[in-house]
Chain A
Amino acid sequence: MKILVAIKRVIDANVKVRVKPDSSGVETANVKMSMNPFCEIAVEEAVRLKEKGIASEVVAVSIGNQQCQETLRTALALGADKAILVKTDDALEPLAVAKTLKKVVEQEGPEMVLLGKQSIDGDNNQTGQMLGALLGWGQGTFASEVEVEDGKTKVTREIDGGLQTIELKLPAVVTTDLRLNEPRFASLPNIMKAKRKPLDEIALADLGVDTANRTETISVENPPERSEGIKVESVAELVEKLKNEAKVI
């Protein structure tokens, strides 16, 4: 079976994000960008399914600007067979991303689409579920284990109370959680090999999807700051403060 993996290029998880002084957004100039960590987990899972002989082909897709090529090359170096860049300079909202991915699914015909559960910039946690609904497919979100057998997939999901296991008919959408796997690092030979793997480009406009934004960002501001606390010297002092000053115990 063919697997499509959707990957997003985001500000690296280790960067301390700064709000712009004019409150229009966050600073992105000269900031390190990387593959969204949940998408790395998605690529890893797809590649493992291929290594197990379950997947026949892994196609990585990203919707974004020219720089997303770099992120797609990383996916190729990690083991994806082919990459597709749907090119646009606009930052799309999850609904628009889902509609665009639906078009790509119709062209590529995968039996499974793997996505991250959440992009760490917008923290939306929407795209996979939206894609599932638009395609009329089942979904296994927040996956910590994925098994594929007899045209079905069994997905263990991280939920608020613990773990839930469901069985999905294929084709299906699966979104990854942190415990699904530990992504490998790309080896130098694989990085070299990735340069020769196919990376197709499609202009977003050519897909004929309505990707107009539905929301406006009025402002982006710093969160309220916590006033500075104190260091206590001992457990006894801590207990005294919690009792008499903070009055929480």
Chain B
Amino acid sequence: MTTLVIAEHDNSELQASTYSTIAAAKELNGDTVVLVAGHNCQSVAEQAAKAEGVDKVLLAQAEYLEHLLAEDVEKAVMAQEGDYSHILAPASTFGKNMMPRISALLDVQQISDIIAIESDDTFKRPVYAGNAIATVKSNDAKKVITVRATAFDALATEGGSASIENVDAGTHTELSNYVGEELTESERPDLGTARVVVSGGRGMGNGENFEMLETLADKLGAAVGASRAAVDAGFVPNDYQVGQTGKIVAPELYIAVGISGAIQHLAGMKDSKVIVAINKDEEAPIFQVADYGLVEDLFKAVPELIESL
């Protein structure tokens, strides 16, 4: 048995989600091979080779793989000749985008967003916005899986010494072409891996008021997140959204400010270690999951909190 992990990266850094996916792969029997598909990404392959638990790295480079478009990544993965029992990728927008294509071409029913591995063919995954946890057994010969990064502790990034092999990069389908990107620039830690997350909801009132949360975040070395309502209202960009259909976070400390706690929001943060809620409505459902709840107007509480840190 051998597991193939499809690496998520930006052609210079191997993303944290990949290390978590490697950790999941190590819970399966057999070797772990990492495929780095991209452009000018030799350094990513070197990082993967150093990661704990990696037995071999495959490096597929081509100019058209620079933006990791789903159709081209599909071709690069399908070009690999090894016989893999399991193919894993992070359940990030990268993995969600390309992995089902591979699954369909292999005639395999993908198992999405796993949070635990029971055995080589049986996995746990949340359904209905985390209202239920399903244990699912795959009867396909190969398993195609996306991994919820927050559910698997990343292994060490150093210590390994896997070999790197250059492999076939498939073909450029030209079905889709990259036009551009508008990425959120931030000095703060990444939402998915931050130790502390401060999130704001509709209660923030507008985008300018989010500066208050940013100041709080800077004091705590935190990332800033948001509810769907705050994103829909244009207070913050889409990549701030935490929840069932946004990002999943599980920091040491999650501070929800002016967020009611709809089930779709809870789905993205209720595995946080400590949850703090600041809301002026004592009936808000967020208090049902909060370890520490403060019933107060956020425009009074947040400045005070900033002051006292």
Which residues on A are within 8 Å of B, measured CB to CB? 11, 13, 16-19, 26, 38, 93-96, 98, 117-118, 120-134, 136-142, 144, 154, 157-169, 172, 177-179, 213-223, 226, 229-232, 234-236, 238-239, 241-242, 246, 248-249
15 contacts between A and B (CB under 8 A): A19-B132, A38-B245, A95-B103, A95-B110, A133-B74, A162-B181, A163-B183, A166-B69, A179-B231, A217-B134, A219-B135, A223-B131, A226-B275, A229-B275, A235-B301
Interface residue? B27 (CB, 8 A): no
Min Cβ gap A182→B in Å is 9
Q: Which residues of A contact B126 (CB under 8 A)?
A: 123, 223
How far apart sit A86 and B287, CA to CA, in the bound complex (Å)?
44
Query: Which stretch of B33-41, B92-100, B203-211 is in the interface?
Result: B92-100
Does B136 reach chain A (CB closer than 8 Å)?
yes
Which of A133, A158, A249 lies in contact with B104, CB distance below 8 A? A133
Pair A129/B127 contact, Cβ less than 8 Å: no
* Residue numbers in A under 8 Å from B228 (CB-CB): 178
In the bound complex, do residue A238 and residue B96 qualify as a contact, i.e. CB atoms below 8 Å apart?
Answer: no
Within the complex, the shortest CB–CB distance from A205 to chain B, in Å, comes to 20
Residues of A near B187 (CB, < 8 A) are none
Cβ contact within 8 Å between B182 and A167: no
19 additional contacts (CB under 8 A) given A141-B96, A219-B134, A222-B133: A26-B127, A95-B108, A124-B112, A126-B100, A133-B74, A133-B100, A136-B175, A166-B179, A168-B175, A172-B175, A215-B139, A220-B133, A223-B130, A226-B291, A231-B295, A235-B301, A248-B252, A248-B274, A249-B309
Write the nearest CB–CB distance from A200 to chain B, whole angstroms: 26
Give, as a whole number of angstroms, the nearest-CB distance from B147 to chain A: 14
Chain B positions within 8 Å of A, measured between CB atoms, are: 67, 69-71, 74, 92-94, 96-105, 107-113, 122, 125-140, 173-184, 192, 196, 220, 228, 231-232, 237-239, 244-245, 247, 252-253, 263-264, 270, 273-276, 282, 287, 289-296, 301, 304-305, 308-309
In the bound complex, residues from chain B placing their C-beta under 8 Å from that of A142 are: 93, 96-97
A215 adjacent to B137 (CB under 8 Å) = yes
Most chain B CB atoms below 10 A, which of A117, A161, A178, A249: A161
**Distance of A17 Cα from B131 Cα, bound (Å):** 6
A163 shortest CB reach to chain B, Å:
4
B124 smallest CB distance to A (angstroms): 9
Give chain A nearest CB distance to B273 CB in angstroms: 7
A26, A162, A242: the one contacting B132 at CB < 8 Å is A26
User: Chain B residues with Cβ under 8 A from A166's Cβ?
Assistant: 69, 176-179
Please judge, given known A-B contacts A19-B132, A219-B134, A249-B309, whether A235 and B294 are in contact too, CB under 8 Å.
yes
> CB distance A239 to B179 under 8 Å?
no
CA A140 to CA B184, docked complex, whole Å:
20
Interface of A is mostly: mixed
Interchain CB contact (< 8 A) of B179 among A154, A179, A216, A231: A154
Residues of B within 8 A of A215 (CB): 109, 111, 136-140
Q: Specify which of B94, B136, B176 is in contact with A138 (CB 8 Å cutoff).
A: B176
B127 contacts A125, CB within 8 Å? no
Task: Choose among A131, A139, A242 the residue that contacts B71 (Cβ–Cβ < 8 A).
Answer: A139
- Do residues B133 and A223 form an inter-chain contact, with CB atoms below 8 A? yes
Q: Are B292 and A241 in contact (CB under 8 A)?
A: yes
Say yes or no: A126-B112 contact (C-beta < 8 A), given A158-B238, A163-B181, A169-B174: yes
Q: Are A229 and B181 in contact (CB under 8 A)?
A: no
Residue from B192, B196, B305 within 8 A of A235 (CB atoms) = B305
- What residues on B are CB-neighbors of A172 within 8 Å? 175-176
Whether B232 lies near A178 (C-beta < 8 A) is yes
For A118, the closest partner residue in chain B by CB is B245
- Distance, CA A155 to CA B194, complexed state (A): 30
Contacts of B308 in A (CB 8 A): 235-236, 239
The chain A residue with its CB closest to the CB of B115 is A223
Taking a contact as CB atoms under 8 Å apart, the answer to whether A121 and B128 are in contact is yes
Q: Which chain B residues border A122 with CB–CB below 8 Å?
A: 127
Partner of A120, one of B67, B111, B128, B289: B128
Using known A-B contacts A141-B70, A160-B92, A166-B176, determine if residue A133 contacts B101 with beta carbons closer than 8 Å.
yes
The 6 A-B residue pairs with the shortest CB-CB distance in the complex, in nearest-first order: A138-B175, A129-B100, A133-B101, A214-B109, A130-B104, A229-B291
The answer to whether B295 and A139 have CB atoms under 8 Å apart is no
Q: Within 8 Å CB of A219, what residues of B?
A: 134-135
Q: Is there contact, CB below 8 Å, between B175 and A137?
A: yes
Q: How far is the CA of A26 from the CA of B128 in the complex (A)?
A: 9
* Choice from B110, B133, B135, B263 contacting A94 with Cβ under 8 Å: B110
